[in-house]
Every structure is written in structure tokens, then in C-alpha cells.
Amino acid sequence: MTPHVETYKQYPFTVATGDGARLRDTKGRSYWDLYGGHAVALLGHAHPAVVRALHEQARQLTFYSNVAPLEIRDRAAEAITQFAPPGLERVFFCNSGAEANENALKLAIQQTGRTTIAALERGFHGRTLLALSATASEKLRAPFADVLTPARRLQINDVDDLSQIDESVAAVIVEPILSIAGVIELTPEYLGALRQRCNDTGTLLVFDEIQTGMGRLGRPFAAGAHGVMPDLLTTAKGIANGFPMGAVLMTEEIGARVATDDLGSTFGGGPLACAALLAVLEAIAADSLLDRAAALGQHATEVLRRGPVTAIIGRGCMLGLQVNGSARPLWSNLLERGFVTGTSGDPSVLRLLPPINTPTEALDELGAALDDIGA
Ligand SMILES: Cc1ncc(COP(=O)(O)O)c(C=O)c1O
């Protein structure tokens, strides 16, 4: 027993160190980490360029608040808005995914003067109050039902249901691929119709790219695919490869309307987070990691449809392995064989969210393990 409150169901081993896509536990056993600490270890553990950047920045300036301009913060803002597709020219830095969503929704409510939000069935957006209002899980919402903001729940990929979005809705927030729900992609038709409906009703469209962003899909963000751009985009998780950071990207028009004191966060955009983000973006460019993420996803579809796996869903380094029945026994079996994977809200889908530079050999070894497990 430790003094921690028991809020997390934990792995049956204690992690000691990580190196790339490998993890080592306190007993010296090593694992392929195909879950990346819940999509955070974008470039793998202890990535040398990120470690170097953090070390050098810590020596120069560990922290100063947002009242002081910092060159490193300006460079980070420049770099992430350049990395994002055109149309998201401004950014607000914070510390986590929930904080990014909370601020995106606050901005939407403030700027539209409306108080209702809309989000997808089975979507997950975090646990702060506005983010939780958008989150679908009744189990998570129930204790706070009286203090949550009204949210309309849209059926996934149901164009007709978009009629729920009207002139009273401030924002619609969606994950372009619903990860926790079980790697469910929004169709191009749905995304196009969603954009159009938001245009027609003056509702702001927010893409929650906390998992899909930062190159995981083989492109910088899902935004821009099929020509659909959001008004606001939130990202976190792998943005600084494990150093806590979140970001709200937004159009020039929305950004220009943000006034002093509308948003704030003591640690948001701190120099260490910014140094790590810059190192991540430099490594993605230098090592062609968008291409590698896409190639890894392709490789997965070639080598993982074996044994108990009936289909591979998702793209790039956000993948679901579909099985018949419950995926939970497979999760445990793979862990015993030295592969960390993730379950999902869909009992028959096992998720892979590996670092985008994972060697293909990791997937080959997983394929061999699946063969060995059998159907
Ligand atoms: C899609 C999505 N949105 C928001 C969040 C919340 O992020 P955080 O845990 O950093 O607050 C998560 C976390 O899993 C997520 O997957």
C-alpha cells in the first residue's frame, strides 16, 4: 500500500526506466511500450534531443511567468502554429488536455455569448467541469450532474443528428478519431456536414486533437484532412514528449478577440515545456517522423491481422486491434509476453498508441506473439 488514493487501476509491474519504445521494470524485465504512457511518449522515452533541450533550458531559466516575454515561448508559439495547417494562426499554452479543452470551451462561450455545448456520444474530453460536460461517460458525469454545463450529445457519424446544433450552441467539440471509445474515425462526409452546420449556426467547431495531434496520424493534425478545419484545436499528450503541456490553437479571428485576462495559467508556456516542444518538432522534421508514423500504421495492417485479431482499425500510430469477444484477456496475455497495449471503451478493441519512431521489429514481434496465441 502507498498513500496514493486508489484512483487508477495499475499495471502489475513498477516501471523503472524507459528508452525509446522500450520500458524496463524494477525487476529488470523489459517490454515493448506500444501504448506510450497513454499516447504521451510520442518520440519514445528519454528521447535524447528532448532530454538535452530540457537540461539546457533548466540551466538557463527554469521558469518565468507569462507576464514576462520569453524568446523560447515565442519560438514555441511560432513553431507550433507553423506545424499546424494554415488557418490556426494563434495559440494559448497551458498544461494538460483538460485545461486545453476547458479554455477552448470557455473562449467559445465567451465569444458567442451562448451557454450550451455539443459533443459526440462516447467522446472523452477530460475531467475539469467544462471538459467533463463535453465528455460522454455517464459514470464520470453523474456525481457532478448538477454543476455541469448543458451538453447535447450527437450520434457518431450521423449527419441527420447535426440538426441538434442550432443558434443556441456555442461550440461542438469532437475527437476526429475517437480514441478511448475504440478508435472510431469520423467520416469525411460527416466532418464536411459538421463544418457546414457550424457555419450555418455560428457555432464554433473545436477539434480535440489531444491524442490525434502532433504527428501521430502521419500528418501534423487530423485538421485539414478532407479540407475540414476547426475554429479551435486542442492538443496535449505528446506535445512535449512527457513534459506536461497543452495548447489551444485558434483562428486569427478568435485570437484577435482574446483580451488581457480572458485566459491565464501560471505554468502554461513555461520555458521547460516550450524547450521540449521545440525539440519534438525539430525531431519530427529532422527524422521524417510523419512518414514513419504513417509507414508504421501501414506495417501494422500487414503484420498484425493474425491469431485472435480479426481486423485493424485506425491509422498511423493510433490503431485498434479488433478481436472476437473481450480484448481484456489478450491485453493480459500480451503484457505477460512483454507488450504493453491498451484497452478501450469498446470491449473488443485493443489499442496501440506507440511512439511514432517505434522500430517495425516491435510490430513484427507482436505479430509473432499473436500467431503464438492463436485464434
Ligand atoms: C481525447 C482526449 N481529450 C482530453 C483528454 C484529457 O487530457 P488530460 O488527461 O491531459 O487532462 C484526454 C486524456 O486522455 C483525451 O484522450
Cα–Cα distance, 41 to 375 (Å, whole number)? 31
Q: Are 370 and 304 in contact (CB under 8 A)?
A: yes
**C-alpha of residue 368 to centroid of ligand 1, in Å:** 32
Pairing relation of β-strands 169-174 and 204-208? Answer: parallel
> What pLDDT, on the 0 to 100 scale, is given for residue 375?
87
Q: How wide is the angle at C-alpha 133 spanned by C-alphas 194 and 202, nearest 5°?
A: 35
Q: How wide is the angle at C-alpha 313 spanned by C-alphas 185 and 220, nearest 5°?
A: 60
Domains of the chain: 15-47+288-373 (3.90.1150.10), 49-286 (3.40.640.10)
**C-alpha of residue 182 to centroid of ligand 1, in Å:** 14
- Residue ID of nearest Cα to ligand 1 atom 14: 126
Q: Best substitution site from 40, 125, 265 to test ligand 1's pocket, by max atoms within 8 Å of Cβ?
A: 125
Atom of ligand 1 nearest to the CA of 246: 10
Task: Provide the 8-state DSSP code for 20.
Answer: B
pLDDT digits (tens), the chain, 375 positions: 889 999 999 999 999 999 999 999 999 999 999 999 999 999 999 999 999 999 999 999 999 999 999 999 999 999 999 999 999 999 999 999 999 999 999 999 999 999 999 999 999 999 999 999 999 999 999 999 999 999 999 999 999 999 999 999 999 999 999 999 999 999 999 999 999 999 999 999 999 999 999 999 999 999 999 999 999 999 999 999 999 999 999 999 999 999 999 999 999 999 999 999 999 999 999 999 999 999 999 999 999 999 999 999 999 999 999 999 999 999 999 999 999 999 999 999 999 999 999 999 999 999 999 999 998
Q: Are 183 and 121 in contact (CB under 8 A)?
A: no
| Cell digits of residue 281 | 518538432
**C-alpha of residue 95 to centroid of ligand 1, in Å:** 11
| Cell digits of residue 196 | 457546414
Q: Best substitution site from 7, 140, 211 to test ligand 1's pocket, by max atoms within 8 Å of Cβ?
A: 211
Cα–Cα distance, 67 to 61 (Å, whole number)? 15
Cα–Cα distance, 239 to 219 (Å, whole number)? 14
- Residue ID of nearest Cα to ligand 1 atom 8: 97
Residues with CB under 6 A from ligand 1: 96-98, 101, 124-126, 175, 179-180, 208, 210-211, 236
Maximal CA-CA distance, the chain: 60
Q: Best substitution site from 237, 243, 343, 344 to test ligand 1's pocket, by max atoms within 8 Å of Cβ?
A: 237
Q: How wide is the angle at C-alpha 225 spanned by C-alphas 120 and 78, nearest 5°?
A: 100
Residue 129: count of CB within 10 angstroms of its CB: 14
pTM of the model: 0.98
Q: Are 291 and 356 in contact (CB under 8 A)?
A: no
**C-alpha of residue 134 to centroid of ligand 1, in Å:** 12
**C-alpha of residue 152 to centroid of ligand 1, in Å:** 20
